[in-house]
């Protein structure tokens, strides 16, 4: 079982360990030539991390503990600016770009909370896929069935494997269409995507300025709640009362239950039964709006339009430096006119209002995070059609919540020893605290 923020904070408080010891252990795992570290990190910052750890131990010795994150090893995705470093976003295109002049806001907040930043994690190039493949820096192998070599999920691929392999206690990623929740689901972790406006994106290289959100991947709901509070600049909640008794959970029957493989279908049904036994009132409902998105996206998507706006100059000069499967999708944004983009923004607001009306009276939506277990890396590398088919499937369910401007938690719900499967609890925009509290109760019910 992976350590949580809570368990390690208790160890630090009772002097059973120190920040330096935890950081050295994390760095040793990251540097192990037999491990995944070379594919997990695009940059490992051993010397600064050990200095931060020593400073944290000194502050603790003087009676100062800034947050539950004090002294704990944390990684950040290669999208976040760190002063003096180049933010490459998993690419080779930006390797000669100027170093950042200052930290991203979320990095400042992590450091102010006492986190020890061990390095920058690998990702799908420019965050533009839900699979996690990266031809430039390698693809970290999913901790489940590592011998076969399965995808970790993306785009926060290194973030998930970093936590699963003990290279950090928690990882911070970004989520535009599922990039925190997909790798969490496929690697057996807990991941939280907050309402987009909750965490500032200053100093974060964008994919979609409309949909980008920043959230944690960790070993427990409480760990995610702690990091979410730090990232949002809020006080860490002292308690999170959560109870499933008479909680109303809606399972949409449109789209999200299509194409489930046997492992996901069985794990999802078993999870629903456990939540019901804990008192939840689960009802399957029609949400036909979910099936309307392909028509809304007929002329293009928000990520395509907004990514192309950022990348178009780079593509004109250096298209060959991109992962071909990434640049081909970004270039689709060139087809979207300004009028089409404005129409899509207006259609989104009408769609959000319709979904709000549809789910009124429910406390949360319940669905499989992704419909299938992690496919083999080799299959997706070799087969273009398989790659794009798998990418669409992985993004399908989680991206609904991004377009809804909602928040969502992915919890592991598979049986021990089985392929990891994620269970999503999702809420409307601004219901973050409620979803995290429900997640804590659901976590306990699933464990029981």
Report the relative pairing of strands 364-368 and 248-252 from DSSP bridges.
parallel
Which residue is associated with the tokens 């019910």?
445
Please name which of 69, 34, 33 lies closest in space to residue 52, comparing C-alpha atoms: 69
What whole-number distance in Å separates Cα of residue 82 and Cα of residue 230?
Answer: 17
- Assess whether 77 carries a catalytic annotation: yes
Convert 37-67 to b/e letters by CB count within 10 Å (16 or more is b): bbbbbbebbbeebbebbbebbebbeeeebbb
Q: How far apart are CA 349 and CA 31, in angstroms?
A: 47
Contacts 24+ apart (CB under 8 A), 44-48: 44/118, 44/119, 45/117, 45/118, 45/119, 45/120, 46/118, 48/117
The conformational region for residue 372 under phi > 0 = left, psi -120 to 50 = alpha, else beta, is: beta
β-pairing verdict for 41-44 and 213-218: unpaired
Q: How far apart are CA 292 and CA 297, in angstroms?
A: 9
Among all chains, which residue has been given the structure tokens 């998507």? Answer: 301
Catalytic residue (one of 179, 208, 223, 410): 179
With residue 424 as reference, give the H or E element that holds it.
Answer: strand 422-427
| Spatial distance between the Cα atoms of 213 and 205, rounded to a whole number of angstroms | 12
- Both tokens of 15, joined, read 């002097």
Q: Clarify whether 193 is annotated catalytic.
A: no
Which is the catalytic residue, given 91, 155, 174, 223? 155
- What positions carry a catalytic annotation? 77, 155, 179
């Amino acid at each position: 079982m992976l350590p949580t923020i809570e368990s390690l904070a208790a160890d630090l408080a009772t002097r059973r360990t120190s920040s330096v010891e935890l950081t050295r252990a994390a760095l040793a795992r990251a540097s192990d030539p037999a491990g995944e570290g070379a594919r997990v990190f695009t940059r490992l910052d051993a010397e600064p991390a050990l200095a931060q750890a020593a400073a944290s131990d000194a502050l603790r010795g003087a009676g100062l503990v800034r947050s539950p994150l004090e002294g704990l090893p944390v990684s950040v995705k290669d999208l976040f600016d760190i002063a003096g470093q180049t933010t490459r976003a998993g690419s080779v295109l930006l390797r000669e770009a100027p170093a950042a002049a200052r930290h991203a806001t979320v990095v400042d907040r992590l450091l102010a909370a006492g986190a020890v930043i061990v390095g920058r994690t690998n990702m799908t190039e420019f965050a533009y896929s839900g699979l996690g493949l990266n031809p430039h820096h390698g693809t970290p192998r999913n901790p489940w069935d590592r011998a076969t070599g399965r995808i970790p999920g993306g785009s926060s691929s290194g973030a998930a494997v970093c936590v699963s392999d003990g290279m950090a206690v928690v990882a911070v990623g970004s989520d535009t269409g599922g990039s925190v929740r997909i790798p969490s689901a496929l690697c057996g972790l807990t991941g939280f995507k907050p309402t987009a406006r909750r965490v500032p994106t200053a100093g974060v290289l964008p994919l979609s300025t409309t949909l980008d959100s920043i959230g944690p991947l960790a070993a427990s709901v409480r760990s995610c709640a702690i990091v979410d509070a730090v990232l949002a600049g809020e006080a860490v909640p002292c308690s999170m009362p959560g109870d499933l008794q008479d909680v109303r959970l809606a399972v949409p029957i449109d789209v999200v239950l299509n194409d489930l493989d046997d492992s996901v279908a069985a794990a999802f049904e078993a999870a629903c039964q456990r939540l019901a036994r804990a008192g939840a009132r689960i009802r399957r409902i029609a949400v036909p709006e979910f099936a309307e998105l392909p028509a809304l996206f007929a002329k293009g998507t928000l990520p395509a339009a907004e990514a192309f706006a950022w990348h178009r100059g780079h593509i004109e000069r250096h298209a060959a430096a991109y992962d071909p499967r990434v640049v081909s999708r970004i270039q689709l944004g060139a087809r979207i006119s300004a009028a089409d983009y404005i129409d899509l923004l207006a259609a989104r607001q009408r769609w959000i209002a319709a979904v709000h009306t549809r789910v009124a009276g429910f406390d949360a939506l319940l669905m499989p995070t992704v419909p299938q277990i992690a496919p083999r890396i080799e299959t997706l590398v070799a087969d273009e059609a398989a790659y794009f088919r798998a990418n669409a499937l992985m993004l399908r369910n989680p991206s609904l919540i991004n377009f809804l401007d909602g928040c969502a938690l992915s919890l592991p719900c598979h049986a021990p020893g089985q392929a990891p499967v994620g269970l999503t609890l999702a809420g409307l925009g601004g219901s973050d605290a409620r979803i995290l509290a429900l997640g804590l109760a659901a976590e306990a019910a699933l464990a029981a």
